[in-house]
Structure 1
Amino acid sequence: MRSGYTQMMTKYSAQQSALSNRPKWVGVRDSSAMPPDPLTVTNVSQLKTLQDAGEIEATHSDTQTSEEWLKTHSVDSLQLNLKNLMDKSKAVRPSTNPATGQLQQHIQFEAADINDFEYRLNKTIEMYTKRIKWLLQGSRRVFGLIKRSRVGVLIDVSDANCGFGRLTHFQEALMHLVDEQMAEMKSMYLVAFGSDLSPLWANSMDINCRTLAQAKDWVTQLQAGGGCNLLKALEHMYKRKDIDNVIVVIGCIPDQTCQFLCDYMAQLGVGQERPIHTVAYDCCNHHTHVTLRTLAEQSGGRYQCYDSASEEQIYSSSDISLLLREVQKAQIIINKIIGMRQGLLGTALVSVTNEINNEVAKLPQSRFLPRPPGHDLPLKINMPNYYPTSSGNWLGKHGLKAKGLDLYQVLSPNAYSYKEEFIPVIRKTVQSVVNEKAMAQFKWHDGSIRNIHVDMSQLFEYQKQLGATVKLYEQRLDWLSSGSRKIFGSVKEKSVLILIDVSMSNLSYLIHIQHSVRLLLEQQVANKDYFNMIAFSSSVKSWKPTLVPPTPENLQEAWRWVLDLHCEGSRNFLTALRAAMENEEERNHGIDVEGVYLFTSGVPDQPVELCVSYLEEQCAGSDQRLHVILFNVDDYDVHGAIPSRYANITKTAESLRALAHCTAGRFHWFRETGIIESDDIALLSQEVDKAINFSKKCAMLVDSVKKKYNLQLVERKEKEKEGELVMRPASFRPSSAIRRDDDDSTGGSHRPQSAKDPMQRIRRPKREFFYTEQKNGVGAVFKKYPTQKSTRKGIRFATIQEKEDQITSKEWLRMYSLSKLKLDLNKLVSGPDCRHVGQAVKTLHKVVEARTCSVFPTINVAGTLKHLQLLPHELTDYEDQITRILRRYLKRLQWLLSGSRKTFGTVVEKKCVFLIDTSGSMDPFLQDFKKELASLVWDQLYKYSVSFNLVRFSKNCEQWRPQLAESTEENCHDAVRWISALVANGNTCTLQALELAFKDPTVEAIYLLTDGKPDTSTSLVLSEVASLNTDRHVTINTISFNCDDSTANNFLVTLAHENGGRFHRCHANFDAPLFAHTLLTEGFTDHEYPQLPEFGGDDLKRLADEIATARRFISQSRSYR
């Protein structure tokens, strides 16, 4: 017993010793441990849920391809297909079709199920649309979504892809790819391939800041390198084991065929799961798209297409096409639901919907519309503390004329008319020159030129008053654009009646109408003497039988009446107007309606002419005014209520404006975003514009005076340097060289030199007198001696402004021709004609030759022998002048041959119709012609604000717009889209196109763009156009596009010249720009080389003739020296 106990104690001691000697416990590190799955932390058995979710990996949608994303978001996976819809139905006993006598299957749906199913489908389509937009952003638009973590990129650097200016845009796209998507990869391997391969690195590199910088630097150094050896590039990429996804970016057709590439890659990729992501970069070749699509599908990859010229091509990409297919599938199911609601799949659904509609019809219409806060609360009436008035009456007291701030009122005391009179003594027309001595010239409001004495302090004070007045106008504009005045304008009459349009077309805007009337009652009606309201649709409903005072009780009662209004019927405006203006009870009480305010959103049921006639008759001899407020609503829904008389918003505004103005009322047009048109605001805006114009004219006057003073100061300093008594040498020329340059002079015979200046003999030196110290003695100091007027005129310094004017060459040369610039060499070099014959002298008994024949050299000028009157240095000055002018002519020629002017000439009119020939003969040039037309729209029409219209004619005629449209940015974009859709076919119906253009009464000029003769007789076209244009005087300009038929060109020349227009001809191969460039760079050493090209157009031909004349004058001047 004791021995057993001893053994037990010994064993226990050994166990305690072992426990005390064991190693210490080490804590578990959980920093890198995976968190437990949420589905496992539960006491409920979730085995089946875990098994179902095991195959689905939770991944962010931004890293999923469309195929992966649609596994959980497709129509089928969301249980929104047609089978799921039919599962919600109930089979009902079949019924017999009364038309056929056969049994018809009857299916019944719950309305709630159908509405919920349709809502989910629409939300799904919205989800697909958002993902498509996401795929079209950033680098995904060009290269698609890059998948996998280790990628190899093959970049096409062939001549076809990197040439023709494409390299810069290609490099920018690649830089965006590296920044946006490559930075998210684990590793990448970049290879550029053309005829040969050029990898960036020897191995695949991990992504970090350094490798990304190297990649972007490598992209910027890419250069074109021969062909497109795609086979060699793919073979190189498939040999690498450190990549799992291959991206191929190609911009041209590969060197190998599609079949060869696909067969080779099928063999090379056996046993490898390495998809190829192909990208067609800005390539329009069909074979390239087929090859890349086949490679992607064969390898299990995806295909991406990007074409900057065609936006539709990008929707053929793999990711986007899958989404579009799901959108189409969802839309088909929605169409099925619409068919069900129309009873196409049974009648039960219709009966359920009708029961619901009957319950809804019992509720007020405004119950279902959004309403502002406190809409149903009583009015918060504010008594106006101002005297209401229209802008016309307000400007009568505060306008520029009323305040004496009209610029012509301010300047009239110091304004003097320009005078020009004939002096019989000197037989010349003398013009007043006081404007150059002490005044500035200014164009008066009647078009005349007056000389203004400029008072700088007066103009400064005037500018300050103008600024203060403009601020006052801006304050009133802000006031008119706030509160109920933004909706109704300023209600100025003391007794007013409000007509409210509650037709069915305003059903969606009933709350807005009620809120607008609420603002009017709160802010502008409380200070009136009387008021009333009439609501009209097909019938007329009046609040009170007569006008009543606007007491707080009446205003609250009127507001409650407005809240009970509902929309129905059409717009019986004339009945409402008669109820407002022919109220016998009001006349018996001696109450007259002064102002009727019509609040409507469309045209009346009655014709506008009938309404205008009634208003003019009713308001004749009275002070009644109709003011129209047009509420701009969105266009009517074709499935909703259509008014009895429909007009677009422009026609509606024109009709209602006529109603208001026929009674001297005001027109106000607004929408939720603000005021569109208001007579009150228009008057103020005109006054502000007038003030700004006056301010600009003041600034011009001040600048002209400053320039004059600066010039006088410079001249005074120069004279001080030369000395007061030093006379400038004067150059003389023989009296025989004197000619009359003044076109207005009427002197007939030659006068002697002494008769030229009758005041010359009595001129005296200018003196300054002073008193001496000897009694009344007077002394004098000579200040300036009179200068002898030169009888010889030098070469005039001619200048032409550098800015090009948008005018015809005829008008331009009328200002800047050699004759107008006084540079006609034939007139400069010669004086009076010499007969070069001897005369018998009786005392000497012989014939003596004229002395001038031996003194002056003789030259042939236009077939007449004359004496040269210019000295060598004057000829040199003349050559410098005309060389400078000739260079300016050549710059003008280059400008006429640049942009759209090369094809269409210069568009100088402001309201034009362009007739575009799209017959079958235009087909070879149609694409180039479209580009030139687009250039014309932006280069000239948009830039110079030309109102225009386009008409296409071939076998028939088609207009872009029914009338002329302003050249806004939106209209120009629409015109370019219309031009891009033109197709060439059919005949050439020129006469019908011209007749269509003449139907527009506002057109000023017609531009006929064609490549040949019309189908009808040319004489018939000329005679018909002459009869159409007899009273219109519309300018017809013709443009010959790549036409070498002399008969057709002669017809176009005749058509243009007979109608006051210009002819322009566009050649396919034209070397005029080369001619101008050669002359500007090589100079004018030879007047025959380079030879001037032959111009067919009027503008170019006139300018070319002047250039040829200038070159000939340079050659003659050199020969005279």
Structure 2
Amino acid sequence: MVLVEQVIQISRFNLIRAAQDLMKWQQKCTPVSEHTVKSAVTWLWKLDHMTAVSHTSSAEALLEAMGDEAVEAVYYFAVGDVPVDTKQLLLEKVSDGSCPVNTVSFNAREDETIIFLKELSRLTSGRFHAFAEKKNCRDATGPALKYEEDRKRLTALNSGKVKGQMPQVAGVCEDVFLIWKELEEARSTVRQVQEMLSESDQSASQEANKGDHPLSKDITDKYLTSEKWLQKYGLKAQKLTLYEALADSVFRHVDGPVDIKTKPEDECSQTDAETKRKIIHARYCDKFVHTLWKDGSVVHVYVTTEKYKQYEKKMRTALRQMEERIKWLQQGSRGLFGNVFEDDVYILIDTSQSMNNKLPLVKEKIFQLMQEQLRHKKRFNFVKFSAQAVAWQEKLVEVNEENLQDAWLWIKGLEVGSSTNTLKALQMALADTDTQAIYLLTDGRPDQVFQNEKTENAEKRCQN
């Protein structure tokens, strides 16, 4: 897909397979044409998918790519998780390379792999992307597809469901990634509690009460950052982490009598259950589940059926809240822009030649942004940029129906230009002293160079 949609827009390219013996499509970077792209696709489908790989293969492939003087950037496509020895070698050999290394993670299962690939791209001034496999994909060992069939099938995959655990935008959209991480922790905690209950021979409810509903929330909570949302609805906020959930259900091993807290069957009644605790001698501790506690010590666990049911109900509610949050974050304009939190914003739109096929989609998403988010802000402005940058208005303007309508007519009339003067667009937005945030829509890096102290400072301010 990247070959037929993006590589076709650049000047030259090459492909290298990181295997025991490096496999290169061409000896050097080759000019892009319809013929060379077709040839590259055919070469890819004919590769032997069982070729042996050593821990040095990836580093050797990257060094080989960087050795081509015509190369301006390298894309390192990592399937699954990266071995520890390979990580170390890549950091030693590649981190100070001659060009950016953009890392792409496919179906990574370990957080360490994502963290490493992000760090590698940062050290080499590159970018990081992550995505997961989708269902109903063709068998990788099947016959090679024809060029047009390949393109149609790859495009059709967009409607499939993600097979891996990580959301499609995880690692790219940090707002979604934070919620996903919390969701994974919640699922892990539920599994651990269920295992403990099973080991202690206690019967537990396995079905959620269908009458349960998520906790009521003020609609404005949706517009919090994910970090603040988790502070209010995350596992720690609701005291559902493993250690908090089991705090009153664990006891340490000692050589003597041990107290176990027990609650009365009717919690509404006044009893002395807290003062007259059940006493069990330590020699019976091996009858209870053992687990590691947060301080590294081993503790014994006793979970009653009643406590588990209460915990399960709260945890399922929390899980539904997080799943709904992720779904909401990926809907409409938020799928592209995320949550727009600031009140005074600039939207910068790349209208260079490479945006020719993407501009209709961009216009659609901007319309959604105006309807769903901008109308609730205070002030806004748009800037289009190709070889030159042109603003819709000189300064930020008030959000009202008349301005929104006028801005939409301006957006509808956008047409593609030539090169990509990103810096000029950023300077225009930063020149407005009331600007609180800038949202930059572009499909590539700038192709116009400015070398003076003033513009360098503008770039740094934008990055910060």
TM-score in terms of structure 2 length: 0.43
Of structures 1 and 2, the one with the larger relative CO (CA 8 A, separation 6+) is: 2
Greater Rg by CA: 1
